[in-house]
Amino acid sequence: MKRRQLILLLGGGSAAAASAGTGAFSSVSADREVSVNVVEDEKAYLGIEGHPDDEGGLQIKNQFAGALSLGLTATVVGPDGEYEAEVETERDDGEIEIEVEIESDDGGGSGFERVDIGLGQRAVVNVDFEGSESVDLELSFSGTVADGGATVDKTRKYTVSEGDDEDGEGAVGGSSEVASDVTMVKFFGSGDKVRILTTENSGGGGGTTGVVDAKLYCEVNDSVTSNDEFESVHVNTDLYPDAFDESLTGDIVGVEIAEFDGVFVAPENGGGRVEPSETETEPFWN
């Protein structure tokens, strides 16, 4: 069984306050009042990134400037009242493992565990589930950073399905394909990032969350290249070239989404919004 592994990045740079869209709330706060958007890649102050080539549950990384005392609350939010979650922590040769076990229970219930994660250290969250249906698991993370005055609060929901390996362990998945909800692609004048949006505004807040299969087109010295295969990327967040392919470099000039005919081509000035009705067929093939 391959359980999708996600990385929860906590901290990084100066601490800041941030909020996510519908269905989730994320924040980091400190002495300074600074606001940033929540992004879902390795450049985030606070974000989630998929690593489909790895096995495991969730991987937490402390990117703050000090040790993090982190509390994890696990709650089965659907089906309501039919399952409970229990949380335990183990340390093995310096590795931190947090086990979330989902069991049948008439009244439901949440599990809680607190763990200390050192500067730059990671912890793995494994989810065990042997039910005959899928359940919705809510994981809430809250904690404080030693000597820094920073705090973190993050809540995410995941769908946990019946195990498909020999051990019967649950498969964790948190992202749905939402190409049909895409309203526009936002290009930035800097040419180094792009947003695929499911919102009516360009901010990325409040829209449908999930992923789309997409290709990114980048230009270097009048030559345009793209990732060979469609890559699953998150919507409503800043996407850099390495989210599509680590070898991609240059200015972003277009985005192709699998469910659409044509390519969303960046405006001539580099920045602006392009809607599905404005896609172009084979714009870089000439």
Provide the pLDDT for residue 52: 35
Q: pLDDT tens, 28-59?
A: 333 322 222 233 434 333 333 333 334 445 67
pTM > 0.85: yes or no: no
DSSP the chain: --PPEEEEEEE-SS--B----TT--EEEE-SS--B-----STT-SEEEEEETTS-SSEEEEEESSS-EEEEEEEEEEESTTTEEEEEEEEEETTEEEEEEEEEE-SS-BEEEEEEEE-TT-EEEEEEEE--SS-EEEEEEEEEEETTT--EEEEEEEEEEEPP-STT-PPEEE---B-GGG--EEEE-TTSS-EEEE-SSSSS--SS---EEEEEEEEEETTEEEE-SS-EEEESSS-B-GGGT-TT--SEEEEEEETTSSSBEEPPTTS-EEE-GGG-BSSTT--
Provide the pLDDT for residue 187: 95
Of the candidate ranges 25-39, 73-87, 174-188, 241-255, the one whose mean pLDDT is the lowest:
25-39
Domain ranges of the chain: 5-173, 179-278
Q: What percentage of the chain has pLDDT greater than the value 70?
A: 69
Q: Please, what is the average pLDDT of the chain?
A: 72
Q: pLDDT tens, 7-24?
A: 444 544 322 222 222 222
pLDDT of 263 > 90? The answer is yes
Of the candidate ranges 5-9, 105-109, 141-145, 174-178, the one whose mean pLDDT is the lowest:
5-9
